Amino acid sequence: MRKLMMTTASLAALLATACSPQAAEDTSVAETHETAMAEDMSATDVMSTNPLLAEWTGPYGGVPNFQTASLDDLREALEAGMAANLAEIDAIVNNPEAPTFENTIVAMERAGDPLGRVFSYWGIWSANMSSPEFRAIQGEMIPALSAYQSQITQNEALFERIRAVYEGEEMATLRPDQQRVVQLTYDGFARNGATLEGEAAERYAAINQRLAELHTTFSNNVLHDEENYVTYLSADQLSGLPEGFVQASAAAAASRGREGEYAITNTRSSMDPFLTFSDERDLRETVWRNYYSRGDNGDEYDNNAIITEILTLRDERVGLLGYDNYASWRLEDRMAGNPQNAMDLMVPVWQAAVGRIEEEVADMQALADARGDGITIAPWDYRYYAEKVRQDRYALDSDEVKQYLQLDNLREAMFYVAGELFGFEFRELPEGEVSVWHPTVRVWEVTARDSGENVGLWYLDPFARQGKRSGAWANSFRSHTTFDGEQNVLATNNSNFIEGAPGEPVLVSWDDAETFFHEFGHALHYLSSNVAYPTLNGGVRDYTEFQSQLLERWLLTDPVIENYLVHVETGEPIPAELVERIRAAANFNQGFSTGEYLASALMDMVYHTTEPSEMSDPDTFERETLAELGMPDEIVMRHRSPHFGHVFSGEGYSAGYYGYMWADVLTSDAAEAFEQAPGGYYDPEVAGRLVDYLFAPRNAIDPAVAYREFRGRDADPAALMRDRGFPVPEGMGDSE
């Protein structure tokens, strides 16, 4: 069954997807358990009657029942689930037999199922359907959940059993994947405080609890600013905006009780197209400032003081483990290995991006001058004038391209690619066959083409709405395992496309289409898993983005172009000459896209390699650091510090945002393998190696080893520079 014995960091990241600003008193698991027991229901009764804890029933190996899920049951379910998991841990610890792989490691893999089911609902309430009621419960329960996790990771007797298996003679007799489970389990404990004793252990647990609260508050502050800074337009302020965007903005305003107006919401999916097309420069500045000031408005939802405390506590915590800084601890088990290797990759690319930004700004300024606009390019102008330059240079109009990018067709294109590469077939389930959390969520059964056997289900939640966090992401309710009988996958993809008028097709931008493919790559990673044990479904952060980034490449392959990119009105395939213009413009604005990303990645690494006592307040430190890096005035970080949720609303990407660039090296190098193959991107031999070594094993194989199995060598970093149209620095790739 699915493993729930997570590291403290991963639990905190899960809890902070969308979070509560409310303060919570310190609450131990024992106290919360006593509270539950003080009521008229025993723990056994709760386990058997609470719908959030109940085993999933129905077709497809059992599915969550969102219709019976109620926030009224959440506290009780969490308390009972934690107590049940701790009882399972006690049973492992108190086993009188000598520690073995089966009675210790496998027993841990088997533990925690009821709580895992609760967290499936929790994840939907926090990310897809957030509400003040949920956030209140979340803020109340986070200290208890953190304390619960510390009770496991700092259980000395449990760690001694794990250590005994790790260091024992049995280890040499285990299969390679079993050895990796032991290794990952041991490392997960050793790197998260299991070796600490006495006051150090107590302080470590206290830091984790406080960080969980801070991550929660940070994330919810951002959500507050996204929900409350909406720009409303009148009909005379729509100049330049595409008709589809206008209609979607009208619907967004109407849903907020502002019928007859047009809402520009404070999310990327609304901000980005507005800044690209609106002719109203003053409004572009307003929308830009709203978006990039999230969490940075000097009010009760301001995140700057929270950032300082988070960084201070993270530094103190890794100091207890003997590390010089947080980034050194974080990268120790990543492909990069250490902060310097990550910086050595990022800095040359950053320098090339800055040079390209200067060229892009010069082109835009020349065009603005030729138009007689009388302006100097500012950050809120970049997207607008870049679009004008794109149209002028490549005769490529983003709105023209959009007419060939229908959301439903893109989904079918993804299914086609999954069929050709992975042998998957997708069949949409009739409405009501399985439970969903919102009426716009749809579900498909995934089967193996060769055998017809069920692989799992794929849930799609495509549209933006109030209470749903911004961006796009993938998740799973259940992962593939075989150690306790074969278990199928329940995978989800979540986006924030703007829902059109009823019956109207949804058109998306080229960037959004790539993101759709990207997130589907994560789902394919879940669905293709062939691992035996739950732990092996995890991943290494600077590697797991690679597979999804690679899948973006199939959007511009011939079968997809010819069969799925058809005009919304005529149904005609996208013209070959327009495709050529898209390809010709593939690296257009590469300075901007690379620069805004790397500014965030570099800041993340600097934050986590600098002594907190040497930093000024985050706003000042951000400005000073970017100035030292040579940040162009015309762009900003993709995620400014006060709303950098990847880094400060949890620890999934902290000191790890560089991972997208690291994965980009793998992506560019792997793409060249397909481009050089006889069958191109659908070459069966290369596709077979892709599935066998890069998708199906998940984390059962060391990522570096897996990539060498696929490519026959390590990845060439020069491939990234070639891919982005940047000059390859002297010496880069020479070792290859």
pLDDT at res. 503: 86
What average pLDDT does this structure show over 589-594?
A: 95
For residues 341 and 662, is the Cβ–Cβ distance under 8 A?
Answer: no
Q: Are residues 280 and 415 in the same domain?
A: no
Separation between Cα atoms, residue 161 and residue 194, nearest integer Å: 12
Separation between Cα atoms, residue 367 and residue 643, nearest integer Å: 33
Residue 604 belongs to some domain of the structure:
no
Per the model's pLDDT, the better-predicted residue between 555 and 541 turns out to be: 555
For residues 542 and 334, is the Cβ–Cβ distance under 8 A?
Answer: yes
Separation between Cα atoms, residue 558 and residue 554, nearest integer Å: 9
Q: Are residues 211 and 250 in the same domain?
A: no
Write the DSSP symbol of residue 93.
Answer: H
Taking the CA atoms of 516, 693, 489 and 453 in sequence, report the sign of the dihedral they define. Answer: positive
Domain boundary residue, one of 223, 251, 284? 223
Residue 281 belongs to some domain of the structure:
yes
Block residue for tokens 């293709």:
528
Block residue for tokens 């983003």:
398
pLDDT at res. 21: 27
pLDDT at res. 373: 97
The three-state secondary structure class of 208 is helix
Question: Which burial class, exposed, middle or buried, applies to 25 when counting CB atoms under 10 A from its CB (0-12, 13-18, 19+)?
Answer: exposed
What average pLDDT does this structure show over 318-340?
A: 96
pTM value? 0.85
In the chain, what is the straight-line distance between the N-terminal and C-terminal CA atoms, in Å? 42
Cβ-Cβ contacts under 8 Å for 501 (sequence gap 6 or more)? 247, 251
**Where does the pLDDT of residue 44 fall: very low under 50, low under 70, confident under 90, or very high at 90 and above?**
low
* Joined tokens for residue 59: 């077709």
**Where does the pLDDT of residue 736 fall: very low under 50, low under 70, confident under 90, or very high at 90 and above?**
very low
pLDDT at res. 3: 42
For residues 333 and 261, is the Cβ–Cβ distance under 8 A?
Answer: no
Separation between Cα atoms, residue 705 and residue 711, nearest integer Å: 10
* Joined tokens for residue 172: 């040499």
Separation between Cα atoms, residue 339 and residue 578, nearest integer Å: 42
Q: Are residues 129 and 272 in the same domain?
A: no
Query: Please, what is the average pLDDT of the chain?
Result: 92
Q: Are residues 139 and 251 in the same domain?
A: no
- The domain that contains 154 carries what CATH number? 1.10.1370.40
Residue 318 has pLDDT above 50, yes or no: yes
510-547 CB burial, b ≥16 within 10 A, e <16: bebbbbbbbbbbbbbbbbbbbbbbbbbbbbbbbbbbbb
Q: Are residues 246 and 134 in the same domain?
A: no
**Where does the pLDDT of residue 24 fall: very low under 50, low under 70, confident under 90, or very high at 90 and above?**
very low
Q: How many domains does the chain have?
A: 3
Per the model's pLDDT, the better-predicted residue between 736 and 580 turns out to be: 580
Residue 319 belongs to some domain of the structure:
no
pLDDT at res. 42: 58
| Cα dihedral value 336, 338, 339, 345, nearest 10 | -30
For residues 460 and 411, is the Cβ–Cβ distance under 8 A?
Answer: yes
What average pLDDT does this structure show over 300-316?
A: 98
Active-site hit among 140, 519, 545, 634: 519
Write the DSSP symbol of residue 426.
Answer: E
Domain boundary residue, one of 201, 223, 245? 223
pLDDT at res. 17: 35
pLDDT at res. 264: 97
Phi and psi, residue 406, nearest 5°: -85, 135
- Number of residues that make up the chain: 736
- The domain that contains 484 carries what CATH number? 3.40.390.10
Residue 2 has pLDDT above 60, yes or no: no
H or E segment and range at residue 594: helix 590-607
Which tens digit of pLDDT belongs to each residue from 459-481? Answer: 999 999 888 988 899 999 999 99
pLDDT at res. 43: 58
Which tens digit of pLDDT belongs to each residue from 383-427? Answer: 999 999 999 999 888 889 999 999 999 999 999 999 999 999 999
Residue 111 belongs to some domain of the structure:
yes
pLDDT at res. 26: 32
Q: How many CB atoms lie within 10 A of CB 151?
A: 18
Separation between Cα atoms, residue 47 and residue 88, nearest integer Å: 14
**Where does the pLDDT of residue 328 fall: very low under 50, low under 70, confident under 90, or very high at 90 and above?**
very high
Separation between Cα atoms, residue 694 and residue 703, nearest integer Å: 8
What average pLDDT does this structure show over 225-233?
A: 95
Q: Are residues 131 and 256 in the same domain?
A: no
The three-state secondary structure class of 68 is coil
Q: What is the DSSP string of 107-126?
A: HHHHTTHHHHHHHHHHHIII
Q: Are residues 531 and 447 in the same domain?
A: yes
pLDDT at res. 18: 30
Residue 15 has pLDDT above 70, yes or no: no
Block residue for tokens 């009882």:
87
Residue 424 belongs to some domain of the structure:
yes
**Where does the pLDDT of residue 734 fall: very low under 50, low under 70, confident under 90, or very high at 90 and above?**
low
Q: Are residues 104 and 152 in the same domain?
A: yes
Residue 256 has pLDDT above 50, yes or no: yes
Among 141-155, 192-206, 515-529, top mean pLDDT goes to: 515-529
**Where does the pLDDT of residue 13 fall: very low under 50, low under 70, confident under 90, or very high at 90 and above?**
very low
Phi and psi, residue 492, nearest 5°: -130, 145
Share of the chain above pLDDT 70, in %: 93
Residue 559 belongs to some domain of the structure:
no
For residues 498 and 254, is the Cβ–Cβ distance under 8 A?
Answer: no
Q: What is the edge-to-edge ordering of all strands in the sheet holding 473-478?
A: 424-428, 442-448, 454-463, 489-497, 473-478
Domain residue limits at 161: 8-223
pLDDT at res. 437: 98
Domain boundary residue, one of 520, 551, 582? 551
Query: Would you give the distance in Å from CA 72 to the centre of its chain?
Result: 29
Q: How many CB atoms lie within 10 A of CB 62?
A: 16
Q: Which of 661, 418, 407 is nearest to 559 (CA)?
A: 418
pLDDT at res. 397: 87
Helix axes 198-228, 8-15, angle to 10 degrees: 20
Residue 350 belongs to some domain of the structure:
no
For residues 444 and 458, is the Cβ–Cβ distance under 8 A?
Answer: yes
Q: Are residues 414 and 454 in the same domain?
A: yes
The three-state secondary structure class of 586 is coil
pLDDT at res. 40: 38
pLDDT at res. 668: 96
Residue 30 has pLDDT above 70, yes or no: no
Q: Are residues 257 and 218 in the same domain?
A: no
Residue 684 has pLDDT above 70, yes or no: yes
pLDDT at res. 103: 98
Q: Are residues 25 and 75 in the same domain?
A: yes
Phi and psi, residue 496, nearest 5°: -130, 45
Residue 611 belongs to some domain of the structure:
no
Q: How many CB atoms lie within 10 A of CB 616?
A: 12
Q: Please indicate whether residue 685 is annotated as part of the active site.
A: no
* Joined tokens for residue 94: 């108190």
Q: Are residues 81 and 124 in the same domain?
A: yes
Q: Which of 412, 416, 387, 385 is nearest to 401 (CA)?
A: 387
